[in-house]
Amino acid sequence: MNNLSRREFLNCASLATAGLAIAPASHAIVPFKRLGKPTLRLSLAAYSFRQFFKDGTRQEKGAGPARTIDLFQFLDFCADHGCEGAELTSYFFPKETDDAFLHRLRRHAFLRGLAISGTAVGNNFTHPKGEARDREIALVKLWTDRAAALGTAHVRIFAGQSKTLTKADAEKNIIGALEECCDYAGKKGVFLGLENHDSIGTAENLIRLIKMMQSPWLGVNLDSGNFRTADPYTDFEQALPYAVNIQIKTEIRRVGAAKSELADLPRLVKLMRAANYQGFVALEYESAEDPFIAIPPTLQQLKKLFAA
């Protein structure tokens, strides 16, 4: 046996077999297997009040100075209207945000009986290697750190879209950035939830992209209003097994439709239960009506549906 004794050969073979047995399996992301019964926990996304935040970098026009709010007041609104959680979108944090500010928010939420269900960034991972790509990766890592400081285990992220690259080249860049960020997030114990946003208009595209990854810290941030298909409910149902967070909207818009239609909230809740989803469902209000008026009754409707 080429100067290798039978005993030495068997010893080497045993070690090799043991090594294979303990080596972590490398496989694509698969649907989450959740034990027990479905659990739907009501949250509210700060983006619902995007016109009214006085801090941050992404305010939209529409609010007078007398109606502006900050994140602490938003937490109070969530608590006062029976939410279990609050989703703190990164766009509305003060520019001078530091750990002390994050800890103040975490304390305020805790004393109001709220969990911070997650935060969200607006990144674009389609850039090729270079400064633009490095900035996007750094942004997601920064908010992964901030999520950990806030005591939440979820950050909503985007894949992004490109006006110059082919789809294949853009996806290659997305996968590379996701791999780096998922590795970082896993070390912090934080999930990254890839939203069906931008060019990801179907469940098929979303799941295909997710399955290219191998990280146990990546899932879907499932937005009920973002599928642009003939039947968004079918796409919602197909993506549910991969969801780590759900954002529910009061409207959907089918492909080719001239305008949006009211979402069938009972149907969406029924689909969540059938998929045995367990986690937060954040109302992300984007309809035209004043959110201060429209959101409270919508939250009450969702609470009743969740409790049924």
Q: pLDDT for 65-75, tens place per residue?
A: 568 999 999 99
Percent residues over pLDDT 70 in the chain: 88
**DSSP code of 24?**
P
Please check whether residue 119 is in contact with residue 158, taking contact to mean a CB–CB distance below 8 angstroms.
no
200, part of any domain: yes
Go through 175-203 and write b for each residue having 16 or more CB atoms within 10 A of its CB, e for each that does not. Answer: eebbeebbebbbebebbbbbbbbebbbbb
Residue predicted with more confidence, 129 or 7: 129
Residue 83 lies in a domain: yes
Structure tokens at 283: 């109302």
pTM over 0.85: yes
Q: Is the pLDDT of residue 5 over 60?
A: no
Helix (H, G, I), strand (E, B) or coil at 176: helix
Does 98 fall in a domain? Answer: yes
Both tokens of 126, joined, read: 């389609």
Evaluate whether residue 10 is within a structural domain. no
Domain that holds residue 91: 34-307
Instruction: Please state the domain count of the chain.
Output: 1
Does residue 158 lie in a domain region?
yes
Q: Confirm whether 8 is domain-assigned.
A: no
**Nearest C-alpha neighbor of 128 from the set 87, 176, 89, 83:** 176
Say if 25 falls within a structural domain.
Answer: no
Whether the per-residue pLDDT at 207 is higher than 60: the answer is: yes
Tell me the C-alpha distance between 221 and 244, whole Å: 6
Position with higher pLDDT, 109 vs 62? 109
Domain of 255, CATH number, reads: 3.20.20.150
Res. 77: pLDDT tops 60: yes
Burial 224-255 (b: 16+ CB within 10 A, else e): bbbbbbeebbebbbbbbbbbbbbbbbbebbee
Q: Which amino acid is at 254?
A: R
| Cα–Cα distance, 246 to 273 (Å, whole number) | 13
Whether 18 is in a domain gets the answer: no
> Both tokens of residue 241?
């097994």
